[in-house]
Structure formats: structure tokens, C-alpha cells
Structure 1
Amino acid sequence: MNAAAIRHLISTHDLTDAELTSLVERGAGFADGTIYPSDQLAGLVVGILFLKTSTRTRTSFSTAALRLGAQIVSYGPNDLQTNTGESLSDTAEVLSRMLDMLVVRTSGDPADLRTLAGQQRMAVVNAMTADEHPTQAVADLTTLLRHFGHVDGLRICYVGEGNNTAAALALTLSRFKGVHLELRTPPGYGLEPAILSSAVENAANSGATVTELHTMDSAPAGFDAFYTTRWQTTGTIKPDPHWRDAFTPSRSPPRCGTRAPRPCSCTTCRPTAARMSPPRSWKVPTAWRSTRLRTRCMRPWPSWSGAPGASDPMGRAVRHE
């Protein structure tokens, strides 16, 4: 294997603007049936390590790997020797000699994924850490592209906790020209300041705007899409026993104005913080889109597949469709 060709997807920062756009566009191609999975990962072994619960993400990554021709090995929170004191760096070295790719959900410190990525043989993909959920954001952008035909210039309102899903959405949408993202997060449950600062910096470079408000007193208006999220973030516990009081205003927001011919509400398919009344809303079939999007995330990115003779994440010559 060519160690220099190994790439990781731990944060949206690991993607260039061109790579992010390519993932979104090709994810839409898989969803629309204009691009079909091939045997790009034939002969490879993908590890699926989930330390926290998951229904959609774990299943979609597993089926994506299988559809691309790989074999998978699944691990739960009690399966590795890290539970008996073996270091994460040693574990990474051991796994890298048997696996070609490792998909990891920790809901914890992203530094753990950087440690796993410290070896030179195995690609590492973030299936959710405490700070970011990068493949969820790409799935969300893919949904917007399929519904509107473009991402540039959209006006999106996010209602809910400033969690890892909101962070990834802010860090990706802010890189598209002319996008306006407004986040309505409960007091004390907003984006981490570093995440918001990074999203605002992205927006300054792309001509987008990102704002965050901690109130639902005024009705959001003039948006193309509304994004709502569940109150309980996977893998976390809120220390304040009265935390629901802060979220209650988001339960039934004022009627939200839209400017799109087909206004929509983009949501996960789990219980959500805000309820939108049909026919002014639609619910994204997350399980269906996740499999197609994560099929794309496990394939070579543009920098691996754009030129003749390019290598895939494992250092092998790319087989073009």
C-alpha cells in the first residue's frame, strides 16, 4: 500500500471546498440512481467500531461497504483490548495491519480519532464525535441539493441544540456561496464558540452568512428550509435536571415563513425539537439517504480519482466507472 495516499475523514476541515462539493453531488447521483455502486472496495476489509448506540449510521456504513464489495468486521464498546488497558495508539497499529478502513463512532473527544489515524496503513472515517458529525452534514447537503437543485444561495434556519450535527451543518453550509444559515439554539445549548467562529470565517471567504440566536420570540421568516433536531444528542447526558425548560420554546415554534415554491423542513427521522405542519413541511427519509451518501463517503474523494493513474485511499489504482 502507498502510505502517502491514505486519507482520513475526521472533520469537515479535512475536505477542500472542491471535495465537499463533489461528495454532495455524487451523493445525489447515488440517491437519484444516475450513479451505481461498483466494486471499488473489492478485496478490502472495513472495520465498523461503534462505542455508542446507532441505528441509521451504523447500518448505512455497513451496507455501503458491502455494496462496494468490501468485507466488514463490526466492533461494539466492549470488544477491544482498550478495555483492559491497551493504548489506543497500539490498538490503531494492530488494527491497521488487518483492516484497510475503520469507521468510528465515539461521541467523545475527536483526539481519539486522530490517534487512530496516526498509523500509516488504515483510513479512518468519523461516524460521530462530540464536536462533529461530518457525514451527517454531507447527507443533509445532498438532500438540499436534490430538493432545490442547488445549495448556493439557500436560506436555512436550524432549530434545536447546537450539537455535533448543528456544528457540522454550520461548518459545511458556510462554505457555499451566498448561503444564509440562521441557528435558533436554546440558551446555554448553542454552538461551541470555536465552531461558530470557524463557520463565520468560512462564510467570510464564500460570501455566506452565519448567525446564531437564542430565542424563538420572533418567528423565523424568509427561509427556504427549516432543519429541526431531536432534543437528546446521542451519547450525551445533560447535567441540568431542568434542561427541558430551555428547550420548550422550540417545541412548537411560531409559523415560519418561507420563500420557496416548495418550502420544506429538513429533519432527522427521529423525534424532533420542532414540529412543522403539513403540507408546508416534509420529512427526509434519513435511513434511505444515509446508505447512499455513506456509499460515496467510503469511495475515493476527487483528489484520489480525478486523474489517470490516481490512487484510492489504500494506495491502489482507481477503477473509474
Structure 2
Amino acid sequence: MPDSPLSAEAPAGRPLLSLAGLTPDDLGFVADLASEFGRDPGRFAGLLAGSRVGLLFTAPSTRTRTSFWSAATTLGCHIIHFGPGDIQVSTGETWFDTGSVLATYLDAVVARTNGPQADLEEMATAMPAVVNALTKEEHPTQSVADLSALREYFGPDARPGIAYLGPVNNTARSLAQLVSLRDGMRLDVYSPAGHGLGEAELVELNRLAGREAVRQFDTIPAAPEPVDAVYTCRWQSMGSAPEGAGEGWIEAFRPFAVSRETLRLFGDGKPAVFLHDLPAIRGQEATSDVLDGEGSLVARQVFHKRSAAAAALIWTLRGRDIG
């Protein structure tokens, strides 16, 4: 842990930086919290009354930032917003020193940086109650929202199989961690060569699961193993082409685009349901009739981002002690 003259006794709390840091039982508890909040947010009104929460968003966000604000408001928190120019890491201060300072004033920080996961890990050594609202590597609360939407559709005890199509990004990585922790779920990743999970990462996910929970392919077969849901993400994360993609990359990615026919192919004749974390570039990674069509869970994923945000805040600040 770095030494700093700014260090102060940090408030009580626990980080939620990665789903890989949870046990299966922890994940089940957080997932149940999110589902219960989604059904009846009024039941949780004021649960965290008086808690001081910083929303630190140094990268663009529509849904995640607004959903955390909405959840924190319902829970009774006092909220302060930080933009990219509002904290001194922009002038060279370390994330540890920033965390030390914020720990003096706040009970929790929700941070979205699109930067290295290590930045939030460093801040959390000084300010334990840090929620990862997106880094370059992971997006854990999105996966909790996804699970809430899936449980709502298939039932709370369902363990749906999922096919993920497209480049592996922070959302896909957290989805793989979720599947590894949730016994009975399966994830088949279909990514262009060089844009999937690393081999060591894939081995670790399946070691964590104690089974072959995550498989990976670099082509779409004529008859893929059927799944219950097809998931894709925006190919151009934060408006940029996938890392390492060369000129003409869109043509190489085109076979991984999702159409109604894709849903029928993966659903073994009966269309699989569809998920997308948004924002979307319509007509690129998915067609509009998929995004808006029958069997799309996209609107419920958006709805449950607030559910996931509430569950993350409760878990971070109160753990299982929710009265």
C-alpha cells in the first residue's frame, strides 16, 4: 500500500470493483437485492439516509451515471458530482491520495473512468467503499443489471445459456465473470480472431467456475450450440475502433453482427432473446428490428441499471446488514 501523509481513517465499507472479488453467495445476495429493488424500490426508500456519495465520472455516461444518481436519491444519499476536470488526478495527483482525501468527506465513491482497473484498486486502498461504474477492463454493475433482466424474463432460478458476439470489452469480461460464479449458466464467446478473451483469462474463468462455463470461438458456425440469449455490445467503445483493429476492420467484424436470422440460428429455430448494454450503433453490431423487436430485453436492461446501482450501493455501504 502506498504511504501518504494525507492518509486518514477510511469510512466503513467494502469495494465492488470486480465480480471476480465476490463469492457465488455474495453475487446471489447482490443479485437478489437488485431484483427486489427493481420490483419495489419504495421498500428501500431512505435505507442509506445521510450517506455521502461521490459520483466520479471522468468518461462519458448517460445510463450509468443517471441510474446511480436515481438509485442514490431513492436510498436517501447526499450526492456530489465530479467531472473529468474536478479531481486532481487530472493534474498528476495519485489515485491513492485522491482516495485519502475523499475518505475524509465521503462514505462511498462511484467511479467511471474508462481507465485501468488498477486506478480504482489504488483508490480503494485508501477509500474502501469504491464502486466500479466502468473501467477499461470491467463493468460489474452492468452484469448485475443484465442478470436482473434475465431473471425477470426466465424466472429467478433460471440459468440461461448465453452467446456473446463481438469483441470482448469490459461488459463482456464482467459477463464472463458472472457466468463463472453462477452455477449452471454457460457463456459461448464468438469474437473475431485477436479480439476475444486471452487464453490465460479463459483458463482462470473456468478455474473459478470449477467447470467449463466459458468457451470461445473465432467464427460463427453454421449450426452453433443453442442458447437462450444472444448478447452484443457496441463495437466502437467510447466512439473508438476496437483496440488493435486495422483498416477495414468493420468487414472482418460483420459476420458477428446480430440480425433476426442470428437470433433464430442461435435459438435453434426459436429466436433467442437479445441483450445489448447500449449505446448502440444501429445497423452495425445489431439491426434496429433486433434492438426494438420482440424478445429484446434491452429496455429491461436499462430499467435494471438503477436496480444494479442500488444493490451496489447497499452492498458497499451496508453489506448484508439491511435491516
Shorter-chain TM-score above 0.5: yes
* Counterparts in 2 of 1:302 and 1:117: CA distance versus 1, 3 Å: closer
Residue matched to 2:5: none
The secondary structure found in structure 2 opposite 1:256 is helix
Partner Cα distance (2:69, 2:269) in 1: 36
Query: What one-letter code is carried by the residue in structure 2 that aligns with 1:21?
Result: G
Residue matched to 1:313: none
The farther-off stretch of 55-64 and 274-283 is 274-283
The farther-off stretch of 44-53 and 280-289 is 280-289
Contact 2:57-2:111 at 8 Å conserved across structures:
yes
Deviation at 1:106, TM superposition (A): 1.3
* Counterparts in 2 of 1:158 and 1:35: CA distance versus 1, 3 Å: farther
How does the TM-score come out when normalised to structure 1?
Answer: 0.85
Residue matched to 2:187: 181
Deviation at 1:96, TM superposition (A): 0.9
1:154 corresponds to 2:160? yes
1:256 corresponds to 2:262? no
Residue matched to 2:286: 274
Q: Gaps spanning 5+ residues in structure 1: where?
A: 306-317
The secondary structure found in structure 1 opposite 2:43 is coil
C-alpha RMSD of the superposition? 2.7
Partner Cα distance (2:258, 2:186) in 1: 23
Deviation at 1:301, TM superposition (A): 6.4
How does the TM-score come out when normalised to structure 2?
Answer: 0.85
* Counterparts in 2 of 1:274 and 1:262: CA distance versus 1, 3 Å: closer
1:293 corresponds to 2:285? no
Deviation at 1:97, TM superposition (A): 0.3
Residue matched to 2:54: 47
5 Å-filtered alignment, 1:230-241, equals: 230-234=234-238, 237=241, 238-239=243-244, 240-241=246-247
Task: Say how many residue pairs are matched.
Answer: 305
**Identity fraction in percent:** 35
Task: List 4+ stretches of structure 1 deviating above 4 A.
Answer: 1-5, 259-262, 276-280
Deviation at 1:270, TM superposition (A): 2.6
Partner Cα distance (1:51, 1:175) in 2: 30
Residue matched to 1:27: 34
Residue matched to 1:283: 297
5 Å-filtered alignment, 1:174-253, equals: 174-203=180-209, 205=210, 207=211, 209-234=213-238, 237=241, 238-239=243-244, 240-252=246-258
Partner Cα distance (2:178, 2:135) in 1: 16
Query: What one-letter code is carried by the residue in structure 1 that aligns with 2:306?
Result: T
Once the two structures are superposed, residues 189-237 of structure 1 have per-residue CA deviations (whole angstroms, 9 ceiling, x without a partner) of 112334322222123x2x4521111112424342111112111123755
Partner Cα distance (1:115, 1:268) in 2: 27
Q: Gaps spanning 5+ residues in structure 2: where?
A: 1-7
Partner Cα distance (1:302, 1:117) in 2: 13
Q: Which has the higher helix share?
A: 2
